[in-house]
Chain A
Amino acid sequence: MQFSHRTFLTRALPGAAAALAAALLLSGCSGSTGTSSNSSPVRGGTLVYATGDAEPDCLDPHVGGNYPQALLSSQYLEPLVGRTSSGKIVPRLAKSWKVSSDGKTVDFTLRSGVTFTDGTALTANVVKANIEHLQNPDTKSSTGYLAVTKVSSVEAVSTHHARFHLSSPDSALLESLAQPWNAIESAKALTRSQKENCESPVGTGPFKVTSWKNQQSVTLVRNPNYRPASASYGTGVANLSKIVWRFIPDSSTRYAALKSGEVDVIDNPQPSTVASALKGGSITAVQAPRPGSSNRLELNMSKAPFNDKRVREAFVKAAVVNPGITSLFSGTVKRSYSPLSSVEPLAYSNSSLFKTSLSKARKLLDEAGWKTGSDGIRTKDGQRLTVTLPVSTNQSIPAEQSLFEQIQASVKKVGFEVKIEPLDLSSWYSALAKNAYDAVSAPYTKIGPDVLRILYASDGTVPAPSGYFANHAQIKDASLDSVLQEASTSLNTAQRNAAVKKAQQTVLNAYAILPLYDQQNNFLVGSRVHGFRIDHAVSTPSFAAAWVNR
């Protein structure tokens, strides 16, 4: 099992070497990320970044908390701590921290001399204001809020000493605080109206927001007072004087704009374009798997047919996934056999559970009482063996939708009828809220194995007032709950790791999910750009040290 597949592709590497790099990448070699160059950096210049992710509704990632916000806000906000590719927690705004022996108090020492772009200084009171902002219902925070539920209060012990009081020990606290959704903003700025804060959040990062043209772009300019916590976060004030962050929803257009040089970096490229960039040429591909869950189909255990373990196992055994991953993703992603992303050091895989066997699948369905009907679809008590699969067209890329079609075709051979329903995001959420699904793919990005608690604990099946819940497999297992509780509160590393492994085994053995592939960010970088890096916290791009040729 490997922990990371970082690329160390450099622009200078021609043909054969690039192929070697690609091979290393696929074999999980770890190295420094991004593009580098021997020539010295150029100061000044504008970089154009084109994102295919949705345009955020609010540039403050405390509000809501989705991935598009993370991508953008990591350019102008910094969290208390950072996370390396190997999962190590490193200083950012906090230079050190200490967990008490009972695990219920955590002391952070902040770096001194850090100022926000509105001129205010970073103090313990600012940290306190940020946690309170996240916990305030008016903020409407989701991701950031869920990460700090165990924090009962923050105490400003002295100017640079913040003490977190926890309701119970939280082994995931540091990983949670490394997320962009929990980044620290100017307390003064947070007192403004939400509308104002959404348009121009104030942070300490290498850039600051200057303007936002809806549906077009956000303009970021260099923060002249940026002080990186370590060399991984830049060498000082950024080289680039400006970043234009454009929203280009159409992937073909995005790629065309990159090729014609109108933009310098794009995300969410088509797999085939990543594959051809990996083969060499002037465009460089950078791959960065996201932490959190793998991309997987969650099978709804709360109702027929998947309330029967035999039917779930039959579905999993009949689903042919590997050839599709090879052809649809042009070799840019790897099959996953784990509930967790392969960048999670504690990810547990078991490929033997997911070996395809049509005969085994048929046998299981026969045992479960599903008889083959005249049209090849099985029935039981007048019910057809139908699996409803709502697909969010905003979240699933075309290759993934094609993969679902291939799974649909392969499970049909044993008598499953899969109904793929492409839906817009609102309709997709309401299909989930109405329990109108049998299988669903809903990747969740969160740092660390704590994501298992969010996705598989029983209380995750209880919908929020809005109807949203994270445990889409609707697995309710008291022993799993206690294992997840142990993983979340245990301060003993060995014990925690064992519990994390146990929890994953339970989920896999219950056939609650069909893991597909790693959630992965792909970036294509034009030849003008140097020093492009990945911030490994949630694999967002980092331009702190980047520069462009004139």
Chain B
Amino acid sequence: MSRWLTWRHPWSRVGDLLCVLVLGACVLAAVWPGVFTSLHPLGVHPAQAFLPPQWGHLFGTDESGRDVFTRVIYGTRTSLRIGAVATAIGMSLAVVLGFVSAFAGKVSDFLASRLVEVLFAFPGLVLALLFVALAGPGVWPATIAVGLATAPGYARIIRGQALIAARSGYARQSVLLGQRPAARLWHHLLPNTLWPVLSLVTLGIGQAIVWAAALSYLGVGAVPPAPEWGAMLNAGRTYMDTAWWMTFFPGAAVVVVAAAATALGRSLQQRSRK
């Protein structure tokens, strides 16, 4: 394969290990946050507001004297869930639409493509705003809204990849060999379509968290004072010039998780090709 891979190889194990560690820690934090901190994410101490990072408050404290580190840890569950569920919703819709579009004939392709376009033609945020106006603000409506808003993007890519996979030598060979379409779909087209978009999925998790944060900025996202990275990022923006730590750490959490997930996704992808 490419020079890039050969060069990367000695490092990839260390890198992968790091990614696994980061993601493992995230899952642990999501399941059992008490392992990392003994403080309460909603513990209000007005007298200790706006403390900069220090021993005892590694990430400082927020406007109500809550420990930012503790809130980031407890926020893992909500944020990962938003990211994962929204991406799952978006992807499931996209796989169906993308495959229908790619394989179910011209008419279906036309209809599915138009459906994707209808979703596309709605700016995602507007779709989300309308949905939240219908369902009320909160984590779940925001999650579903973000899922819906991201689906058409994935659908497009999946359709493209599926067409490429269908045109590949293997696929043509399998047609020549008389393999049943379902088998071809399952053994060949699905994996060959999904592997290349795996890193998109992992990147999408970070994106979904960011979109949910935008909904918080517009006042329709996670309900306070629930610790959620996007909501924390938004709340901290108000105090950006006096208390940078309130936005820096939740922001870093989004980026680190997105990065670890993406890097791992890519590594898996590369192994599958060998």
Interface set of A (CB-CB < 8 Å, partner B): 251-252, 270, 272, 320, 323-324, 326-328, 393-394, 398-399, 401-402, 405-406, 408-410, 419-424, 427
Contact = CB atoms under 8 A, between A and B. Distances in A.
Contacts of A422: 137, 219-220, 223-224
A30 to B, nearest CB: 30
Given A393-B219, A427-B133, A405 B238 contact: no
A479 to B, nearest CB: 38
B198 to A, nearest CB: 36
A410 B237 CA distance: 25
B46 A324 contact: yes
B134 to A, nearest CB: 11
A49 B237 CA distance: 23
Contacts of B133: 424, 427
Nearest to A396: B219
A327 B223 contact: no
28 contacts: A252-B238, A252-B240, A270-B238, A272-B239, A272-B242, A323-B46, A326-B46, A327-B49, A327-B65, A328-B49, A328-B64, A393-B219, A401-B224, A402-B63, A405-B224, A406-B44, A406-B46, A409-B42, A409-B43, A409-B64, A410-B44, A419-B223, A420-B223, A420-B224, A420-B225, A422-B224, A423-B136, A424-B219
B47 interface: yes
Interface string B223-248: 11100000000010111111000000
A393 B235 CA distance: 13
Nearest to B138: A421
Interface in B199-222: 219-220
A326 B46 CA distance: 8
Interface residues of B, number: 25
B75 to A, nearest CB: 15
Contacts of A270: 238-239
B136 A398 contact: no
A324 B225 CA distance: 15
Interface centre among A251, A320, A422 (most CB of B within 10 A): A422
A399 B63 CA distance: 8
A299 B155 CA distance: 49
Contacts of B224: 401, 405, 420, 422
A421 B46 contact: no
A323 B50 CA distance: 13
A398 B44 contact: no
Contacts of B44: 405-406, 409-410
A252 B234 CA distance: 12
A272 B224 CA distance: 21
A153 to B, nearest CB: 44
A409 B40 CA distance: 11
Nearest to B231: A422
A327 B137 contact: no
A398 B235 contact: yes
Contacts of A408: 225
A337 B158 CA distance: 62
A421 B138 CA distance: 8
A231 to B, nearest CB: 39
Nearest to B222: A422
Nearest to B45: A323
- Among B46, B47, B240, B242, chain A packs the most CB atoms within 10 A around the CB of B46
Given A327-B65, A405-B44, A423 B137 contact: yes
Interface string B77-108: 00000000000000000000000000000000
Contacts of B42: 409
B63 A327 contact: yes
Contacts of B219: 393-394, 422, 424
Interface of B: 42-44, 46-47, 49-50, 63-65, 133, 136-137, 219-220, 223-225, 235, 237-242
Contacts of B50: 327
A451 B76 CA distance: 47
Per CB-CB distance, the 10 closest pairs between chain A and chain B, nearest first, are A323-B46, A393-B219, A409-B44, A327-B49, A405-B225, A398-B238, A324-B46, A327-B46, A402-B63, A406-B44
Given A252-B241, A327-B63, 14 more contacts: A252-B238, A272-B242, A320-B46, A323-B47, A327-B64, A394-B219, A401-B224, A405-B224, A408-B225, A409-B43, A409-B44, A421-B136, A421-B223, A422-B219
B16 to A, nearest CB: 40
A421 B238 contact: no
Contacts of B239: 270, 272
A400 B47 CA distance: 17
A325 to B, nearest CB: 9
A410 B46 CA distance: 11
Nearest to A322: B46
A174 B224 CA distance: 43
B220 A424 contact: yes
A270 B133 CA distance: 28
Most buried by A among B44, B133, B136, B240: B44
A412 to B, nearest CB: 8
B225 A421 contact: no
Contacts of A421: 136-137, 223
Nearest to B238: A398
B64 A252 contact: no
Contacts of B46: 320, 323-324, 326-328, 406
Contacts of A420: 223-225
B81 to A, nearest CB: 20
Contacts of B43: 409
Contacts of A328: 46, 49, 63-64
A410 B44 CA distance: 8
Contacts of A394: 219
A47 B8 CA distance: 60
B61 to A, nearest CB: 10
A401 B64 CA distance: 11
A251 B219 CA distance: 14
A405 B223 contact: no
Given A405-B225, A406-B46, A420-B225, A324 B64 contact: yes
A371 to B, nearest CB: 23
Nearest to B44: A409
A194 to B, nearest CB: 28
Nearest to B239: A272
Contact of A252 (B47, B65, B235, B237): B237
A319 to B, nearest CB: 12
A361 B46 CA distance: 21
A349 B18 CA distance: 61
B64 A405 contact: yes
A426 to B, nearest CB: 8
Nearest to B225: A405
Given A252-B240, A323-B47, A406 B64 contact: yes
Nearest to A407: B44
B238 A427 contact: no
B247 to A, nearest CB: 11
A443 to B, nearest CB: 18
A327 B65 CA distance: 9
Contact of B136 (A320, A326, A399, A427): A427
A318 to B, nearest CB: 13
A408 B225 CA distance: 9
